[in-house]
Structure 1
Amino acid sequence: MARLLPTRTDAAVERSDNPAVLSLDDAATRDVIEALSSETAYDIFRLLNETPATPSRIADQLDQSVQNVHYHLENLESAGVVEVTDTCYSEKGREMSVFVVSEDPTLLFLGTEDDRPSLKRAFKSFASLLGPPAVLLAVGESISRFVTSE
């Protein structure tokens, strides 16, 4: 028997080419760092970076309670690093949000607004040597090492 309501999503993780740059004196920086500071939240973020998922699927994959996953998803969503992209339905017909990483990647700059002009020059020089995909990969790795070392 065919189901009337979709139980899976066809949403995909898509990222734009324009990263948001957060510096130490930016109010959003603290929110992002606090949201990712928990090991569970970081694991959720990494999972969503690979594939969209519902809170119950995340809970199953990370061996966490759905309530705990909801708590961390709320924090990650309010910090702007994940967002709802789709809706699907459980076997019982309950509506479930499908989460993904935010469309705009975020670059965390450990300097102040005053340091941004020199950052932009350095970033442009670096990008012209390696190309945009390599820069985004390097930035992502640097941020993940920074967050996991905390």
Structure 2
Amino acid sequence: MSRILPTQTDATVERSDTPAVLSLDDDGTRDVIEALSSETAYEIFRLLNETPATPSRIADQLNQSVQNVHYHLENLESAGIIEVTDTCYSEKGREMSVYVVSEDPTLLFLGTEDDRPGLKRAFKSFASLLGPPSILLAAGESISRFVTAE
């Protein structure tokens, strides 16, 4: 018997070529740093950077409770670095959101707005060599080290 409701997603991780740049004087910078500050949130972000996932799948893979995963997903979504991309259904027929890293990669720049024009030119050259996903991971690693050092 075939299922009427999809239990799997065919969502993929797609990114634009133009990153969002957050600087120290940007209101969203603190939100991004706070959202990625816990080890669990950071691991969720890394997982979603590889593949879209439901909260229950994330909980299984990270050996966390679904409630804990939901808490971190809400923080990451509020910071604008992940989003719901699809919906699928559990074996019991419950609707589940499928999360993915946001379409626009984000670069955290530890300078001010005044310093950004030269940064954008340099970043575009750098990103074309390595690709946006690798820059995003490098930025995430830097944030993780910065937050754990405090």
Tell me the TM-score normalised to structure 2 length. 0.91
RMSD: 1.6
Aligned to 1:12: 12
Aligned to 1:46: 46
Q: Runs (4+) of structure 1 moved beyond 6 Å?
A: none
Aligned to 1:33: 33
Q: Secondary structure at the match of 2:22?
A: strand
Aligned to 2:135: 139
Q: Secondary structure at the match of 1:60?
A: helix
CA-to-aligned-CA distance 1:104-138 (integer Å, 9 cap, x gap): 000111000011123234335xx1xx661415356
User: What stretches of structure 2 of length at least 5 have no aligned partner?
Assistant: none
Q: Cα distance 1:119–1:12, how it changes in 2: closer, same or farther (>3 A)?
A: same
Q: Cα distance 1:67–1:16, how it changes in 2: closer, same or farther (>3 A)?
A: same
Aligned to 1:76: 76
- Identity %, equivalent residues: 76
CA distance in 1, matches of 2:127, 2:78: 32
Q: Cα distance 1:146–1:2, how it changes in 2: closer, same or farther (>3 A)?
A: same
Cα distance, 1:4 vs structure 2: 1.0
User: What stretches of structure 1 of length at least 5 have no aligned partner?
Assistant: none
Cα distance, 1:13 vs structure 2: 0.5
CA distance in 2, matches of 1:137, 1:58: 20
Cα distance, 1:141 vs structure 2: 4.3
- The alignment covers a number of residue pairs equal to 146
Q: Cα distance 1:64–1:138, how it changes in 2: closer, same or farther (>3 A)?
A: closer
Aligned to 2:59: 59
Tell me the TM-score normalised to structure 1 length. 0.91
CA distance in 2, matches of 1:138, 1:95: 32
Q: Cα distance 1:119–1:54, how it changes in 2: closer, same or farther (>3 A)?
A: same
CA-to-aligned-CA distance 1:20-41 (integer Å, 9 cap, x gap): 0100000000000100011000
2:89 is the alignment partner of 1:89: yes
Q: Secondary structure at the match of 1:15?
A: coil
CA distance in 2, matches of 1:141, 1:17: 15
Q: Secondary structure at the match of 1:108?
A: strand
